[in-house]
Amino acid sequence: MLDIFVCDDEDAQRRTIVQTIQNAVLIEELDMRLALDTGDPYALLEKIRSSRNTGIYFLDIDLNSDINGMKLAQQIRLFDPRGFIIFITAHSELSYMTFQYRVEAMDFVLKDSPAEAKVKIRECLLNAMERYTLQTNKTHKVYTVEASGRKISVDHEDIFFFETSVNIHKVILHARDRQIEFSGTIKELAGTLGGDFVRCHRSFLVNKNNIKEIDSKKRIIYFTNGESCLMSTRMMKGF
């Protein structure tokens, strides 16, 4: 999942940008969420310090602060080197500054043409999603599911376990920051994933790398995120 951040000190402009982003994410069914919109660059930096997800950053250049959008982008790069930075500005002549600050901006969106800005923001979101998926597939093992009309890619290292849902022919993926229900069976997953994923019960398939503790008396597996699942007597010996 990609986190979206918007930083613009003009409230009306920021609301328009946020609404355009939310509409595009909904219509295009993108695996993204709005993490923060603010006029305070320091609030954005504080937020991304604790964020684990790659971000998309829509930044105004003139923020009426002691740091401008370019300097903010430099700070963002320290925390999120893979993030996608888009400048939204009324000053197209400032585009050359991205080379001075070496922030590798993905694009520029001009405020003075609202209709074109909406189109451009949508294109930036689609482009960022495509690039992120390619990057992730190259650098990490990922599992991709289709749920609610969206294709969602989750790093193997962020998956704790899969659980059979109460809904027939459905499985629930328990990940680091969310749960996703999708069509499938534990048996199919066990045959597809293999490796780090081990079946511990007819209703559970676990990522052995994220196990914190096993209580063999109670037959419970505890994970590093605080969740737990059952382990069958028949499969306990393997563990």
| Residues 225, 152 within the same domain | yes
According to the model, what pLDDT value does residue 194 have?
A: 73
DSSP 97-154: HHHHHT---SEEEETT-HHHHHHHHHHHHHHHHHHHHHHHHHHS-EEEEEETTEEEEE
| Residues 203, 132 within the same domain | no
Higher pLDDT: 140 or 131? It is 131
Mean pLDDT of 101-123: 84
Domain count for the chain, please give it.
2
Question: Where among 98, 116, 139 does a domain terminate?
Answer: 139
| Residues 92, 18 within the same domain | yes
pLDDT tens column, 200-223: 999 999 999 999 999 989 999 999
According to the model, what pLDDT value does residue 184 have?
A: 92
- For residue 48, name the pLDDT band (cuts at 50, 70, 90): very high
Q: Which residue has the tokens 């229900």?
A: 181
| Residues 38, 105 within the same domain | yes
Question: Where among 82, 104, 139 does a domain terminate?
Answer: 139
| Residues 50, 124 within the same domain | yes
Domain with residue 96: its CATH number is 3.40.50.2300
pTM reported for the whole predicted model? 0.68
- The residues, any chain, with a CB within 8 Å of residue 131's CB and separated by 6 or more, are 84
pLDDT tens column, 156-174: 989 999 999 999 999 999 9
Which of 156, 130, 134 lies closest to 143 in space, CA to CA?
156
| Residues 49, 133 within the same domain | yes
Question: Where among 113, 139, 165 does a domain terminate?
Answer: 139
| Residues 125, 220 within the same domain | no
The domain in which residue 193 lies consists of 142-236
Helix or strand (DSSP H, E) at 159: strand 159-164
Which of 177, 171, 144 lies closest to 158 in space, CA to CA?
177
| Residues 164, 68 within the same domain | no
| Residues 163, 121 within the same domain | no
| Residues 23, 109 within the same domain | yes
Mean pLDDT of 103-114: 82
| Residues 116, 149 within the same domain | no
8 Å CB contact between 21 and 125: yes
| Residues 75, 177 within the same domain | no
Residue 202 identity? R
